[in-house]
Every structure is written in structure tokens, then in C-alpha cells.
Amino acid sequence: MSDLELGDLVQSLLDHVKTEHNHTNVISPSIYILSGALRDMSPSSFNPRLVSIGPLHRHDENVQAFERRKATYLINLMSRTGCPQEEILKSCMRKVYDSMVQIKACYEDHVFMKYSDAEIAKMMVMDACFILEFVLLIQEYDNESNSKLLSLYQYITLDLMLLENQIPFFILDQISQCTVSEFRPNAPLIKLICPLLSFHNLFEAHIDTTNISIGTTNHILSLLHECYKPPYNIANQFYGSRIPSAVDLDRAGVNLKPNKNPSWLMGMEVTLSRFTCFLGSWRKPTLRMPVFVVGDFTESILRNLIAYEQSGLTRSYVTSYAYVMDMLVNTQEDVAKLVDSGVLANYLDSNEEVANMINNICKELVWADFFYDEKHLETLKTYTDGYWQKNMAWLRRTYFNSPWNMIALFAGIILFALTVVQTIFTVKSA
């Protein structure tokens, strides 16, 4: 190949690279279709069941029936304002058009190639109005309504939490200012969305949105993720320390207890207390954990939060918690121990289901930061690896795992003591 031909080839490559670079977002999109192993592990966890929000699942067959019903929600929301519908919609459209560049930047470049700006604007206004009217209905929901309506609402709330099923939060806020603020001027959007977050909260402790701002929130799922953010920077470099399972910790004498009033919703800590018995004295650890609530939608919420963390736009708070749970749970017996200890509430059909979910949740994940103190993990590992702890665990498994074994052990001790006494008297009388 001549120098001239080689030069043309190099120039062609440079032109291609520049073109691709110019069409690539400098900042990763916050709303996108997952690809690869993470999605393949559980596709149903990311696909909407009833309602599509935004462009990514708009043409799925299963959401088409509900797509037509969004118009009713929009009309009902407009009726609440008491203002002419045309004026309100003009105001909403203007907000969207003014933010068109920012809206497109929230998605991958190819997503809107088949949509005109007018179609994007109508999509954003329709979906935002649907979400706002729906959350208002949730607040007004009558507990005595029929079970069919309740089931419908539950599936819609789940669809609104999926990573691939979002619109930008700033657009939702702008449409809220044009609509909800007309009849609820003192109702911030984050407070309005709170019932959705509480419904899908992974933990028993209440969610607090006090210190969360619109500016740090990408979408509704991102808002839930912000609720799990620690109040201070406690990230550690991840070294991969491991702790024994819940059953092994219990056998070694480690207590598992709920973490009452933690400063962080997902906070865990290890406390030490002096423990003394006839074999000696040592510092006995107690692992305090948040109460994890497992129901029908838990896996989907957990996977979507972790997938959002994998985007690189935020830190691995939820992934860190999932990793600790994966260490604690190997079998359904570990789940049973966590349930008995009050740190896990299981609303599924069996402990085996929970064990399978936890064992699979961290597969194919990569992360660099870890939000639990590795010194605590080392404390648990060192304690359970200790000489006395291993022997005490063996004693408990062998002699104290049932009342009959305990009776047999004490009966043997008494028989041995009587034999010794009898032998002494025999020797003295001889």
C-alpha cells in the first residue's frame, strides 16, 4: 500500500472516529435500555407490565391498552386546575419545548431519531400529566375500594419505578408547576411522589425526603435511590472481605438484631459486649441491621436500583447492601435465621424464594466503592474464626441443638458424678 493510500485510510478512520464522538453523549444517559448479562438475568424485572412512560417501551404490545387511558388522566388533572385546558396545555408544551435539548440528553442518542420534536413534546406532557394525576389518586385512595382496583394500582406503581420506564424529573416538576401548583400551591413534587416511594421501600424504617432536592434527582427511580444515600461520605475502597452466613454467625454466638433509629436507612453496625462463662471471658459482637422487607416486587425494585448504580451516575449504596446480604444468605436456613432475628420480613411463599433472589442479585456486577465499614466485617470474621467460638459452636450443634440432647448430656454428667462419688467411697471403705 502506498503512502498516499495509507494516508487516505488514516484520514477515513479519523473522520469516522470524530463523527461517532460527536454523536456520543459526554455524560452518560440516565434513562436507557439495559443490555448484556445484567438484563438477561431477569428481563421481567425491567419491562413495564401495564403502562409505558417515556419512549423506550412505548410500542410494547402489553402497554397499548393502557396507552389510550392516559388521556382520561390528563383531562382529570386539567379539570382539577379550574383553568381553561388550552391555556394549561400551552404552558406545559412551552416548558417542554424550551427544555428539548436537556430532555434528549437524558436518553441515548438513537432513541428519538424516529420522533419529531412535536411528538416528543406530546409524549412528555401526556406521561407527566398521567403520573401527576395517578399520584393524586393514590393519595385519595379509599382502602375499601375493590381488590381489582388495588391490584391495578400496585402494578402501575411498580411500572413507575423501572429504570427503562422514566421521563426526566425536571420535566415532571415543570408540568407539576403548570398544573398541580394551580390548586395545591404548597405541595412540592417530591412530597407528592412520596406515596410511591413508601409503597416500594425496601426497608421497614420510614423514608425521609427532607434533604433531597430536584437538582439531584434524575427521575422517580433516582428519587428512591436518593432516599438510601448515607448522610455522610463513608465509602471505602472495596477489598472483598467476606463474613460467614447468618447460621454460622449464630452458631458462633453472634447476635443479629434490628438497627433501631439508624442515621442511615441502610445502616449496619457491629457492637461488642463483654460475655463471660465458665470457659472464659471475651467480647461478644452483635450485628445490627435494617429490617429488610421482601415482597412480590422486591426483586424488581432491587434490580432496578442496582442497575441505576451500574450506570456510573451515582454511588453503589444499594449494591453494597445487596453484597452484605449475599454473604449472609447461602440457604433458606440463613433466611429463616434472619427472619427469627427480626432483621428480615418475608412476605413470599417460602424462605427458599428469598434465598434464591438474594443469591442471584449480585451476579455480573462490578463496583469499586463499598459503603460499610470493613473493620466491622473483619470483627465478625475474626470472632467466628476464634478457637473458643469454634468449639462453643461445636458444643451447641452437638449437645444443645434439641431438648433431648441437653437432657441426655446432663443425665450423663450426673451419672458420671455419681460414679466418681461411688468410686471414692469404695476406695475409702476398702
Q: Considering all CA atoms of the chain, what is the largest pairwise distance in Å, rounded to the nearest integer?
A: 118
- On the CB side of 18, CA atoms within 13 Å amount to 6
State how far the Cα of 394 lies from the Cα of 354, in Å rounded to an integer: 28
State how far the Cα of 175 lies from the Cα of 88, in Å rounded to an integer: 9
The contacts of residue 1 (CB under 8 Å, 6+ apart) are: 9
Q: Are strands 292-294 and 280-289 parallel, antiparallel or unpaired?
A: unpaired
The whole-number pLDDT of residue 63 equals: 96
Return the HEC string of the chain: CCHHHHHHHHHHHHHHHHHHHHCCCCCCCCECCCCCHHHHCCHHHCCCCCCCCCCCCCCCHHHHHHHCCHHHHHHHHHHHHCCCHHHHHHHHHHHHHHCHHHHHHCECHHHHCCCCHHHHHHHHHHHHHHHHHHHHHHHCCCCCCCHHHHHHHHHHHHHCCCCCCCCCHHHHHHHHHHCHHHHCCCCCHHHHHHHHHHHCCCECCCCCCCCCCHHHCCCHHHHHHHHCCCCCCCCEECCCCCCCCHHHHHHCCCEEEECCCCCCCCCCEEEEEEEEECCEEEEEEEEEECCEEECCCHHHHHHHHHHHHHCCCCCCHHHHHHHHHHHHCCCHHHHHHHHHCCCEEECCCCHHHHHHHHHHHCCCCCCCEECCCHHHHHHHHHHHHCHHHHHHHHHHHHHCCCHHHHHHHHHHHHHHHHHHHHHHHHHHHC
pLDDT in tens, the chain (430 residues): 666 666 656 566 666 655 555 544 445 899 999 988 889 999 999 999 999 999 999 999 999 999 999 999 999 999 999 999 999 999 999 999 999 999 999 999 899 999 999 999 999 999 999 999 999 998 887 555 566 677 788 999 999 999 999 999 999 999 999 999 999 998 899 999 999 999 999 999 999 898 898 888 999 999 999 999 988 776 665 666 789 999 999 988 899 999 987 889 999 999 887 655 544 445 689 999 999 999 999 999 999 999 999 988 888 999 999 999 999 999 999 999 999 999 999 999 999 999 999 999 999 888 778 888 888 888 888 888 763 455 554 555 555 555 655 565 566 667 666 666 666 666 666 5
The whole-number pLDDT of residue 163 equals: 97
State how far the Cα of 168 lies from the Cα of 231, in Å rounded to an integer: 25
pTM (two decimals): 0.84
The whole-number pLDDT of residue 16 equals: 61
The whole-number pLDDT of residue 366 equals: 80
Look up residue 142 and give its three cell numbers: 379509599
The whole-number pLDDT of residue 262 equals: 80
Torsion of CA 147, 152, 153, 158, to 10 degrees: 130
